[in-house]
Amino acid sequence: MSERCRIILNGQPAEATPKVGERLSHTLRERLGARDVKVGCNAGDCGACTVLLDGAPVCACLVPTQQAAGRAVDTLAGLRDSPEGRALDARFQDHQAAQCGICTPGMMVSAIALLRAVPAPDESQVQDALGGVLCRCTGYRKIIDAVMGRPATLSGTGAVGDAVRRIDGAERVAGTTRFGDDIAPPGTLTLRLVRAPHSRAAFTLGDLDAWASATPGVVATLTARDVPGQNAFGVIPGFVDQPVFAESEARFRGEAVAAVICDADATVDLATFPVSFTPLPAVETPAEAMAEGAPLLHPHRPGNVMTGGFVQCGDPDAALARADVVAEGHFTSGFVEHAYIEPEAGFAQMVGDRIEIHACTQAPVMDRDSMALILGWDRSRVRIVPTAVGGGFGSKLDLSVQPYLALAALKTGQPVRLAYSRVESMQSTTKRHPSDLHVRIGATKDGKLCGMRFDGLFNTGAYSSWGPTVANRVPVHASGPYHLADYRAEAQGIHTHCPPSGAFRGFGVPQSAIAQEVLFDELAEKLALDPLEFRALNALRNGLPTICGQVFEQGVGIGACFDALRPAWASARASAEAFNATHDGVKRGVGIAAGWYGCGNTSLPNPSTIKVGITAEGTVVLHQGAMDIGQGANTVIAQIFAQALGLPLSQITLVGPDTDVTPDAGKTSASRQTFVTGAAAKRAGDALRAAILHRLNAPETAEIVIEAGQILVGEARLALADMPADTEGYVFRAEETYDPPTLPLDENGQGSPYAQFGYAAHLAVVEVDLALGSVTPIGFTAAHDVGQAINPLLVEGQVQGGIAQGLGMALMEEYLPGRTENLHDYLIPTVGDMPPVETLIVEEPDAHGPFGAKGLGEHVLIPTAPALLNAIYHATGARLRSVPVTPSRLHAALKALT
Amino acid sequence: MGYSMPTHLDDALSALARHGDARIVAGGTDFFPALGEGPAPQTLIDVTRIDGLRGIAQTAEGWRIGAATSWSDILRAPLPPCFDALRAAAREVGSVQIQNSGTVAGNLCNASPAADGVPPLLALEAEVEIAGPAQTRRLPLSKFLLGVRKTALQKGEIVTAVHVPTQPDGMVSAFRKLGSRRYLVISIVMVAANLWAREGRIAGARVTVGAASPVAQRLPALEAALVGRPVNDPGLTRPEHLAPLSPIADVRGSAEYRQEAVTELCDRAIRQALAHV
C-alpha cells in the first residue's frame, strides 16, 4: 500500500506517493522531476545519485523514500545556488573538472558537503569525501584541484591553443545536461529485457500473449519475430552477425531473448516470464574455441576464427637469428569493462511514419543506417537524436538500447523508454578483447632492434562487433613507434561464448603495447642500456619507414616525447634509488613505456562533414556532428572553426549531431574527431570566411566582425537581413568534407594505413608493499605529441583520464562473466587511487591536421599499463606478463623470485 | 502490507508478528543491492526511527550501541582507544555515503564474511541484544553469526543493540584492511587487534580476522602467544596461529594469498596498536 510522503526538497515542501520500498533516487527523478540526480548502479557503488539527507551525503539509490519523510533532501539543483555551490561551479568549469558530466552531480554534492564542514580541505580530506563517487573520464585530478581551489590555468579567449572553459561546461556542471535516461517524460512506457542466464543455452518461449494478458502492467512483449527487417546488426561490412534477439540459441550470458513493454509504474517480476533455457556446452577461451570438435559460434567461420590481420616486412626470422639478444614472452590480459557511469539508455517515439530515437551514442549516423536495416525501412524514416553521453570509450559505438526502443515504439504506437541496469550494461555490451600474445623481439649489441615476431589471439566473444578492427589494427601497431626493418605480426579474433568484444580506447593496441614495451625493457637490460635511451635510439623518425612501409617526412614526434621525459626520468630514478636505500618493506620503481596510434580508420574512407551558416540575425551556427562523449569535441571543433573563420569562440552557436539537421561527422572513435572533423571544420571556416570576404570584396587578411545583424569588414558593412535566406534560414553557408588520405594495405600489410599518427611516452612511479604485493602508483609524467594542442586543458583531461583507465587495466580490472558484473566486484580506480599526473605537451605539427593537430583520445592509455609493469619490475625484480596485477598475483610473483 | 516506520519497539515487533513475510530495513545499504532490479517486498518495517535504537550510551557494564547507529555516528562518538579498531573499520565501510546510511546492526545481520564491522566487535567481545515477541535475549556476537549470510536471528525478532562490555584498563586497538583499491572496496582480508599491557608486557590480546573464513574468527593461539611478550617485541604471527581460518580463492585473491596476507596484517595491526600502549 503506497502512502503519500512529504519531504523538503531543495528547501521546498514536496510530496510524492512512492511504492513500498521505492528508492529515493527513483522518486526524485520520476515523481519529483529531479533529473539532476543520476543513477549509475542502484547499488551504492558509484555515488552518482548522491544527495544530502539532512545535510549528510547519502546514495539516494539506497534510501527508501519513506525513510526520508519529513527530512531535508538536497540535490545539486538546490545546492548550486549557495555560496559553496556557486564557487565550486566556477572552479569545476575553470579546471574542466566535468568531462561527460554524469558523475558531476554526485561529485558536486559530495564536495559541497565537505566544503561546508571544512572550507579549506587538504587533498586527503577531499579524497575521503569523494571516495564514494566514481568517475571514469577525468582521472579525478582536475576534480581534486577544483574542490581544493587550486589555481586554474585558463588562458586566452578561445583561439586555437587557448586553454578555455568547455563551451558546454556550464550545463554539465549544473547537472542540467540531458543524458540517455533524462529525455522520457514521466509516464512513458518502460521496456525491460529478458536475458539468457548461461554462456550458451537453447531456449524456448512459452505462451507470451497469455502471460502478457495475465500479468498486470505488461503492455506487450517483443521477440525476434517482431523484427521486420533483418534480425542482425554489426559495425563492419561482412560482419553483421549479432541478432537483436537471439532466435533459438543464446550465445553469451546476458544476451537478449525477449523484451517486455510495461506501464510506466508497473512492478513486473521478470522471473515469471515464460521462457525455459537449456544450458549447452560452451567455449569461453580461444584455446577451447579452437580445439578440435569445439562448437562453432557461426557455422561459416571454421575453427571459430572470425578474421585476422597480418603485417610483414623484411625477414624477421633471419633478423632474430642474428640478433645478439632476444627477449620473448607469453602475455595475457582479460576482459576489460568500459564502466562509464551512465548505463545505456534512451527514449523513442513514432512521429508520423518515422521513428525518432533519443539515446546515448558515439555514432549517430551508423545507428541510423543499422536501424534502417533492422526495421527494413529506408533510412530517411529513421531519425537519431543523440542525447548527452555519460561516457563511451568505444562501447557506445555499437547499438544497444536503440533496436528495442524502436521495435517497442513501433509495436505499441506509443513512446517508450529503456535504461539498462548496471548488471545488464556489464553483461551485454562490448568489452576490451582479452589477449593471448606470443612475442619475440631481438636487438644487436649496438642497441638496435633486430627482428620482431608477434602472434596474437584475441577473444572476440560471441559476435564480431569491432573485432575485425582489433585484428587489423594490432599488427599495424604492435611494433610500437619504433623503426623495425624485419617484422611479422599476425592477430586473429576468435569467437567464444562470451560477451562481444568490441572497441575500447585503443582497439587492441593497449594489449599489444604491454607485450612489446615490457620486452623492450628486458632487451635494454640485457644490453645494459638505459630503458629510455634504448627506446630513443630506436624511435621512429621522419623519413624512416614504419613496419607498413609508410614513410612520414614530417610529424613523427616520438623522439620529442622521449626528449621531454628525459629530465623527469633521471630525477625519478634517482629519487627511487634514494628511497629504496632507506626502506625495506616498501620499494619504489620507475618505469617507462611509449605508444603510437594511427588517427582515423585503417586504410578506409572516414570522411567528416561540417556545415556552418550565418542567419539573417547574424548568428553564426556550427552544425557540430562529432559526438562529444566528454572528451570535448564540442569545444575543440568550435575553437578550430572560430579560428579559421576569424571570429571569437563566444560568437559560435552549436547545433548538435541530430541526423535530421547535421551532416555526418563520422563516429567518435579511432582518435579521429580533432583530426578529421577538425579538418572539416577548418575547411568550413575557411570557406565561410572566403565567401564573406568575397561578398565584401575584402582581402584575405581582413578582420571580420559580426554585430547587430551586420557583417563589418574594415569600412564595409553588410546588413544580413537584406540578404536572401535559404530554407534553413542561412544567408551565408558552407559545407565542407575532409577524408584523410590513406592507401590500402597489401597482402603483407604494406601501404599507408593512416594519414597521421600521434605519439606518447609515459613515466610511472610506483611504490610496492613487498609483503602484501600491493602497488601504489605515486606519480605519472606523460609526454604526448598532439601536433598542436587546440585546448591544452582538454589535452590534460584526456591524458589524466586515459592514465586512470590504463592504471585500472594494469592493476585491478578484470571482467569475468557471472562473477564481476557489478561495480563492487569489478573495480575501477577511485579518487584515492590516482596520483598526480604531469602532462608534457609536445607539439610536432602534422601537415594534415587542422592547425597541425593530431588525435589523442586513445594514445592516452596505451603506454600506461606497460609503464606500470616496468615500474613494478624496477621496484621488485618481478616481471609480470598478465594483467591485472592484483596484490594476490604480484605476491605470487614475488614469492616465485625467492 | 506497506512501509511502516514505528517509533516504538513494541509496534515494530507486533508488525513483524502480523506479517510473516515482512522484511526489516534500516540503512538500505545491503537491502537495495541485494534487491537489484527485482520487485521490493510488499511489507517493510523501517527500524531507524524506533526510540532508543540509534546512538551510543555508556552504561554501568560498558557501552550500548543502538542497532540503527550509523558508521558515521561511530566515527563521531567520543570513544576510548579500545574502540580505535572499530572506528578505523567505520572509516573503511564503503564510502562516506555508505557510512552515513549503513548501520552497525545491519552489518551484523547481513552476515557477510567480509563485513568490516565484525572483527573489531568480536575483539571487543560484543554481545547482540535481540528483541522478540516474548523476550529480549542477548547473544555473544560469536554465537550470533552462524555462517555466510546466516545468523541466529529468529523469525519475529529484531536486533536492538550491540553491547560492548567494559574493557580491560588500557586496552588499545588497531584495524587493518586490505583491498585492491583505496575506497569502496570489499576486503580481501582484514584484522582487528585489541591488546592491553601491564608493566611493559602484553597482558591480554584479542586478534580477529575477517574475510578468511565464513565468519570472522578470533585467533586464540596467537592471542596466547602474545600474552607475556614485551610490548616492544610482540613476536611474529606464525602459520599455526591461523588454524581457525579457512580462506577461499575468489576474484579478490587466492587462498594462499589470503593466508599470507593475514599473517602480515596481524603483525602490522598488533604493532600499530601496541604503539599506543
User: What secondary structure does DSSP assign to B39-52, as a single string?
Assistant: PPPSEEEE-TTSTT
> Would you call A835 an interface residue with chain B, using a CB distance cutoff of 8 Å?
no
In a domain, A297, yes or no: no
Q: What pLDDT, on a 0 to 100 scale, did the predictor assign at position A1? A: 57
Determine the topology of domain B172-274 in CATH: Enolase-like; domain 1 (3.30.390)
Q: Is A329 inside any structural domain? A: no
Predicted confidence (pLDDT) at residue A190 exceeds the cutoff of 60:
yes
Is residue A547 situated within a structural domain? yes
Structural domain includes residue A291: no
- The grid cell for A405 is 526502443
On the question of pLDDT at A282 being above 60, the answer is: yes
Averaged over A396-420, what is the pLDDT? 98
Is the confidence at residue A383, as pLDDT, over 60? yes
The three-point CA angle A754-A789-A513 to 5° equals 50
My answer on whether A451 and A584 are in the same domain is yes
Show which of residues 2-31 on chain B sit within 8 Å of chain A, judged by CB atoms: 2-3, 5, 25, 27-29, 31
What global pTM score does this model have?
Answer: 0.98
In eight-state DSSP terms, residue A265 is T
Residue among A138, A142, A83 nearest A115 (CA):
A83
Tally C-beta pairs within 8 A across A and B: 170
CA-based nearest distance B34→chain A, Å? 8
In this structure, the answer to whether residues A563 and A623 fall within a common structural domain is no
A730: how many CB neighbours lie within 10 A of its CB? 20
* Any domain includes A678: yes
Q: Is residue A178 part of a domain?
A: no
Best of B71, B91, B97 to substitute, by most chain A Cβ atoms within 10 angstroms, is B97
Q: Specify whether the CB–CB gap between A8 and A14 falls below 8 A.
A: yes
Strand partners, A247: none
What's the CA gap between B227 and B229, in Å, rounded? Answer: 6
The predicted structure's pLDDT at residue A3: 87
Question: Do residues A136 and A23 both lie within one domain?
Answer: yes
Whole-number mean pLDDT of chain A? 98
* A153 pLDDT higher than 60: yes
Close Cβ partners of A718 (under 8 Å, ≥ 6 residues apart): A692, A695, A696, A710, A711, A712
CB atoms within 10 A of CB B4: 20
Q: Residue holding cell 573485432?
A: A467
Q: Which CATH number fits domain B1-49: 1.10.357, 3.40.50, 3.30.70, 3.30.43?
A: 3.30.43
CA distance linking residue A53 with residue A40, whole number of Å: 19
B96 in contact with A, Cβ within 8 Å: yes
**A39/A118 same-domain check:** yes
How far away is chain B from the Cα of A49, in angstroms, using its nearest Cα? 10
> Above 80 in pLDDT, residue B1?
no
Question: d(Cα A586, Cα A580) in Å, to the nearest integer?
Answer: 8
Is there a single domain that holds both residue A421 and residue A345?
A: yes
A17, A38, A46, A67: best to mutate for the B interface, most B CBs within 10 A: A67
| Cis amide linkage into residue A884, ω under 30° from 0 | yes
**What cell does A143 get?**
576534480
B97 CB near a chain A CB, below 8 Å? yes
Q: Are residues A348 and A204 in the same domain?
A: yes
Q: Looking at A691, A714, A738, which one is the last position of a domain?
A: A738
Q: What is the pLDDT of residue A2?
A: 75
- Residue A52, pLDDT score: 98
Flag if B181 and A833 touch (Cβ within 8 Å). Answer: yes
**Which residue in B44, B48, B94 is closest to A20 by CB distance?**
B44
* Inter-chain CB proximity A20 and B188 less than 8 Å: no
- Same domain as A809, residue A689: no
Residue B188 has pLDDT above 90, yes or no: yes
Q: Say if CB A257 and CB A196 are below 8 A apart.
A: yes
**A403 near A330, Cβ under 8 Å?**
no
Return the SS3 of A775: strand
A816 to chain B, minimum CA–CA distance in Å? 9
The residue in chain B having the minimum alpha-carbon distance to the alpha carbon of residue A820 is B251
- The domains of chain B are located at 1-49, 172-274
Residues in chain B: 277
- Cα nearest neighbour of A777 on chain B: B181
CATH number (domain holding residue A771) = 3.30.365.10
Segment 181-240 of chain B within 8 Å of chain A by CB: 181-186, 188
- A352 and A372 inside one domain: yes
Q: How far apart are CA B212 and CA B227, in angstroms?
A: 24
**Residue spans of beta strands (DSSP E) within A599-662:** 608-615, 620-623, 652-655
Contact: B28, A833; criterion CB under 8 Å: no
Do the Cβ atoms of B95 and A131 come closer than 8 Å?
A: yes
- pLDDT band, very low/low/confident/very high, at A737 (cuts 50, 70, 90): very high
Which of A20, A22, A832 lies at the smallest CB-CB distance from B42? A20
ipTM value: 0.98
Please check whether residues A884 and A765 belong to one and the same domain: yes
Interface test with chain A among B95, B237, B265, by most A beta carbons within 10 Å? B95
CB contact (8 A) between residue A21 and residue B254? no
**Shared domain check, A210 and A74:** no
Share of chain B above pLDDT 70, in %: 100
Looking at the domain assignment, is residue A303 inside a domain? Answer: no
Q: Say if the Cβ atoms of A67 and B48 lie within 8 Å.
A: yes
Altogether, the residues listed in chain A come to a count of 898
- The set of cell numbers assigned to B239 is 602459520
Per the structure, how many domains does chain A have?
4
Cross-strand bridge partners of residue B103: B70
* Residue among A549, A288, A330, A548 nearest A456 (CA): A330
Q: A861 and A771 in one domain?
A: yes
Domain containing residue A772: 435-601+747-897
B264 touches chain A (CB under 8 A): yes
- Closest CB from B42, B180, B184 relative to A132: B184
Shared-domain flag, residues A581 and A716: no
Domain contains A571: yes
